[in-house]
Amino acid sequence: MRKADYLIVVILLIIAALGYGFLMLKNNSSHKILIIKHDNSVVERIALKNVRTETKLAIPVQDGTIIVRYDKNGAWVESSPCPDKICVHQGKITKTSETVACVPEKILLTIEEPEKEAEHDAILK
Amino acid sequence: MPSSNKIKLRELTQMSILLAGAIALRLLESSLSYLMPLPGAHLGLANCITIIVLYLYGPYKTLLFLVARVLLVGLLFTGILTPGFLIGLGGASLSYCVMAKASSSTLLSPVGVGLLGAFFHNVGQILVAIVLMHTTALFSYLPVLILLGIPTGFFTGLLAKLFLDRLKTYWQNK
């Protein structure tokens, strides 16, 4: 172990901490929108605060059907025909800018904030 | 230690054994991946072999070694040109470029090379995934991957260092 090795550990920790801090800053919104994309086009766009009960969504993909579930807190992939099932193991996402990706089936779940303008009651020009 | 770019028969044999070891370790850790706290995360034991090859045979021969490893792992597990293969390729090529530079530096021990390798492996994988999925949302994975890469990179680098140190004392005593 040399000095520069420890320096790398410190730098990596700082980068990770900055990354976490940046994500935390974006996570303070209560109004969340779930966006489901397949092959880079939006399949569903759901305002989670309007969701009352847990809902199941079946999306046809290359190798079969992917099952997505969502409730008022967040969303998760219940089952997928992909080989590695990383998307299923990722579990539930609840915060803005969190993501579940199934790369083999080109499915992407993200939670985003509504557009900034929509939060204002009116914009005077 | 690394001499010319011409591979001697002796080196070819040694590298082939190390290649077989790297692939066996890759298989072992994908069957152990359920132990990891994050889906799809690996310990990076195959990277430990890459570091050893880098220090013993130099960057040029390591490149050949890595091409063989990535292709064979593709043929055996993920399939050639599948998303999983491309993501692995992105991670391997970026971490190779950085580790090849870092291993020739006298400032770093193999532990530092392992840490850098783990970090740039993650960055390379995420970059390829971002291109494949057309979204920058995947950047949100990076902090946790970087954090996880610190102990795993440290561990693989340390293993490589212990191996190289033992090899050195063995050669000296011979």
Which range is most confident: A7-11, A44-48, A80-84?
A7-11
The class of domain B9-173 in CATH terms is mainly alpha
Residue A117's pLDDT is 43
Q: Is the pLDDT of residue A83 over 70?
A: yes
SS (H, E, C) chain B: CCCCCCCCHHHHHHHHHHHHHHHHHHHHHHHCHHHCCCCCCCCCHHHHHHHHHHHHHHHHHHHHHHHHHHHHHHHHHHCCCCHHHHHHHHHHHHHHHHHHHHHCCCCCCHHHHHHHHHHHHHHHHHHHHHHHHCCHHHHHHHHHHHHHHHHHHHHHHHHHHHHHHHHHHHHHHC
Q: What is the pLDDT of residues B131-152, one digit of tens each?
A: 988 878 788 888 888 999 999 9
Which one of A2, A13, A108 has the shortest CB-CB distance to B107? A2
User: Which positions in chain B touch A92 (Cβ < 8 Å)?
Assistant: none
Domain ranges of chain A: 1-29, 31-114
CB B144 within 8 A of CB B133: no
pLDDT in tens, chain B (174 residues): 555 678 889 999 999 999 999 999 988 887 777 776 666 677 888 899 999 999 999 999 999 999 999 999 899 888 888 888 999 899 999 999 999 999 998 899 999 999 999 999 999 999 999 998 887 878 888 888 899 999 999 999 999 999 999 999 999 987
Instruction: Indicate the pTM of the whole model.
Output: 0.83
Interface of A with B (CB under 8 A): 1-5, 8-9, 12-13, 15-17, 19-20, 23, 37, 40, 83-86, 89-90, 97-99, 101, 103-104, 106, 108, 110
In this structure, CATH architecture of domain A31-114:
Sandwich (2.60)
